[in-house]
Amino acid sequence: MTARSPNFITRLGDRAEGALVLLGDWALFAAQAVLWTVRRRPSHGTLTAAAYFVGVRSVTVVMVTGGFIGMVLAVQAYSQFHQLGLATRLGSLINVSVVRELGPVLAATMLAGRVGSSMAAELATMRVTEQIDALSCLGANPVHYLVVPRFLACVLLIPLLTILADVMGVAGGAFLTVKIYHVDAHHYWAHSADYVGLWDINTGLVKSVFFGAAIALISCHRGFNSKAGAEGVGQAATESFVASFIAILALDFFLAMFMNTLYDRIWPVAGGRII
Amino acid sequence: MARRIKLDTLRSAEHLIELRDVSVQFGSQAVLRDIDLGIAANQTVAIIGQSGCGKTVTLKLVIGLLRPTTGKALFDGRELYTLGDRDLTKQRLRFGFLFQGAALFDSLTVFENVALGLREQRRFSEREMRERVRQRLLEVGLNSEVEAKKPAELSGGMRKRVGLARALALDPEVMLYDEPTTGLDPVMSDVINELILQTRQGRPLTSLVVTHDMKTVVKVADRVVMFYPLAELGRDEEQIIFDGTVAQLQETTDPRVRRFIEGDARAARPTPPERTQP
């Protein structure tokens, strides 16, 4: 035990140092990306291509995700609410959960897998095949040429995709509750309208902007710093998803706290909001 | 101090590209050690040596893609890796780089690949760009039919030629070639060698050619520099084991150089231990 302790501490120290260096490197990379975003408009054709990939090609998968979120919520909550005679209140539960929490978080998670991993793998391949070096040699800044369009596409389009996921989640929940469980539609929607406000929708959208930024910056950073070979590319894709997922959950927690505090400051009499 | 600065300036004036006591280390692996190399303007220098001896690293040092661990890599008297974004871009545009695998952008067409450098400068009209791309593709023996193709649709030789057209698009003063004939058939290799010679005609051009191919060396080089892998060198041995003309290279008696130029694997293989009788 005595002999192992220094090794363990050394290893722990090395790990912590490595993590700090990585975080610092990512912070510098993110700062560069934000700086280039405001400094110069994206290069010819790059934003359209990134927007098509992030936005248009994600529509189906986000709609399916959103629809199932709403339906699963309805399935899980119906029996308890029905036993208490509160089935018509399902609308408030499902719709608040969808627009504030599950819609943005699960849509972002899905996009971290579909968009983030793909971006990381693409940029990692470009790194391995010297395409990123070639960009530098042609007088283009790789962060400006490759990261800025992806960053803008994620920040602008992930909130729009989140709205789509929200709409599908609300529709999915309503379909199951009203059409399958035969809960009265008028009361279902009336309770929804009572509990879901503009603030709830905005909370979800604010979160999705941050999720989009995190997915783009983490994935691009992992791609840019890929190790050589097919293994390096695969590792970059995996690391990008894992890091993005953790970032989404952490951001979700801190933003929920922040938005609740902000709500209490603006409307003190209204009392606390659910996270 | 003033004398040293003056001396530095004089040395830089002789050489467009200069490596001074350059060492490069990646983690625990040393790749280059105390390299001193000066290259005058309008010279074509071939850098040869076994895989892993630091030839590509040298090219990347020259253009400022890598930073030496110790020492200085100078281009026109400046250390590129210390420059700010704007100055760095300005200096890098004086180079053309043909990468080993051509490094064409997969998602772009041939036209977009060759035009990328021009487009990024934002000082050429669409018509000027089209004209220049067409001209550069013609120079490397490709007609306008390939402009709409993606890199995946091209053969290895065509990819190299498109890479060369892209590198030449901005009329560089210095061309860096990283193993330009690797992976090509003998005829296509000769086509690329001819193109390297052709690029020097009608324009002042300094070229650095990293290669394993002795035919390329004989055909294009004014001067040959041979690097040796550090792993096979003693602590006090120089890493540059040959620096001279092609004629001198062919007459050298250094067994390490001869082994390389004759492609003799037997001499390079470590001697197996003698068997002992049980």
Q: By the 8 A CB rule, do A146 and A135 touch?
A: yes
To 5 degrees, how large is the angle CA B199–CA B202–CA B205?
A: 55
B31: Cβ contacts below 8 Å, ≥ 6 apart: B24, B25, B52, B54, B57, B230
Among chain B residues, the shortest Cα distance to A125 is held by: B106
Q: What is the pLDDT of residue A45?
A: 86
Instruction: Give the integer Cα–Cα distance in Å for B48 and B211.
Output: 5
Phi then psi for residue B123, to 5 deg, are -130, 10
A176: Cβ contacts below 8 Å, ≥ 6 apart: A70, A71, A74, A75, A78
What tens digit of pLDDT does each residue of B25-39 get?
Answer: 998 889 999 999 999
Structure tokens at B70: 């110790």
Structure tokens at A10: 């050394």
Question: Chain B: nearest CA to A129, how far in angstroms?
Answer: 6
Question: Chain B: nearest CA to A140, how far in angstroms?
Answer: 6
A137·B119 Cβ contact <8 A = no
A265: Cβ contacts below 8 Å, ≥ 6 apart: none
Instruction: Give the integer Cα–Cα distance in Å for A21 and A35.
Output: 21
> In B, what residues contact A, Cβ < 8 A?
60, 63, 65, 85, 89, 92-93, 95-97, 99-101, 103-107, 112, 116-117, 119-121, 166-167, 170
Which chain B residues contact residue A49 at CB under 8 A?
107
Instruction: Give the integer Cα–Cα distance in Å for A116 and B38.
Output: 45
Give strand pairing partners of B180: none
What tens digit of pLDDT does each residue of B263-276 get?
Answer: 876 655 444 444 54
What is the amino acid identity at position B232?
A: E
pTM of the model: 0.86
What tens digit of pLDDT does each residue of B78-97 get?
Answer: 898 889 888 999 999 999 99
Q: What DSSP assignment string belongs to chain B?
A: -HHHHHHHHHHHHH-SEEEEEEEEEETTEEEEEEEEEEE-TT-EEEEE--TTSSHHHHHHHHTTSS--SEEEEEETTB-GGGS-HHHHHHHHTTEEEE-TTTT--TTS-HHHHHHHHHHHHT-S-HHHHHHHHHHHHHHTT--GGGGG--GGGS-HHHHHHHHHHHHHTT--SEEEEESTTTT--HHHHHHHHHHHHHHHTTS--EEEEE-S-HHHHHHH-SEEEEE--GGGS-TTS-SEEEEE-HHHHHH---HHHHHHHHT-HHHHSPPPPPP---
Instruction: Give the integer Cα–Cα distance in Å for B93 and B90.
Output: 5
A6: Cβ contacts below 8 Å, ≥ 6 apart: none
Q: What DSSP assignment string belongs to A24-86?
A: HHHHHHHHHHHHHHHHSPPPTTHHHHHHHHHTGGGHHHHHHHHHHHHHHHHHHHHHHHHHTT-
Instruction: Give the integer Cα–Cα distance in Å for B251 and B162.
Output: 36
A133·B99 Cβ contact <8 A = yes
Instruction: Give the integer Cα–Cα distance in Å for B104 and A129.
Output: 9
pLDDT per residue of chain A (275 residues) written in tens, 0 to 9: 445 566 888 888 988 999 999 999 999 999 999 999 999 899 888 999 999 999 999 999 999 999 999 999 999 999 899 988 888 899 999 999 999 999 999 999 999 999 999 999 999 999 999 999 999 999 899 999 999 999 999 999 999 999 999 999 999 999 999 999 999 999 999 989 988 889 999 999 999 999 999 999 999 999 999 998 899 999 999 999 999 999 999 999 999 999 999 998 988 865 555 54
CA A80 to chain centre: 30
In our burial notation (b when 16+ CB lie closer than 10 A, e otherwise), range B246-262 reads beebeebeeebbeebbe
Q: Does A141 touch chain B (CB under 8 A)?
A: yes
Checking if the pLDDT of B187 tops 90, the result is no
Checking if the pLDDT of B6 tops 50, the result is no
Which chain B residues contact residue A45 at CB under 8 A?
112
A131·B105 Cβ contact <8 A = yes
Mean pLDDT, chain B, whole residue set: 86
Q: What is the pLDDT of residue B278?
A: 43
In this prediction, residue B188 has a pLDDT band, given cuts at 50, 70 and 90, of confident
Instruction: Give the integer Cα–Cα distance in Å for A234 and A111.
Output: 18
What is the amino acid identity at position A187?
A: H
A139·B103 Cβ contact <8 A = no
CA A39 to chain centre: 25
Question: Span B142-163, mean pLDDT?
Answer: 91
Instruction: Give the integer Cα–Cα distance in Å for A241 and A223.
Output: 11
Give strand pairing partners of B45: B208, B223
Question: Span B43-47, mean pLDDT?
Answer: 94
Instruction: Give the integer Cα–Cα distance in Å for A233 and A223.
Output: 8
Measured N-to-C along each axis, helices A103-111 and A229-266 cross at an angle, to the nearest 10 degrees, of: 160
Of A136, A139, A145, the CB nearest to B121: A139
B92·A131 Cβ contact <8 A = no
For residue A226, the 8-state DSSP code is P
* Residue given tokens 């070979």 in the structure block: A229
What is the amino acid identity at position B160?
A: K
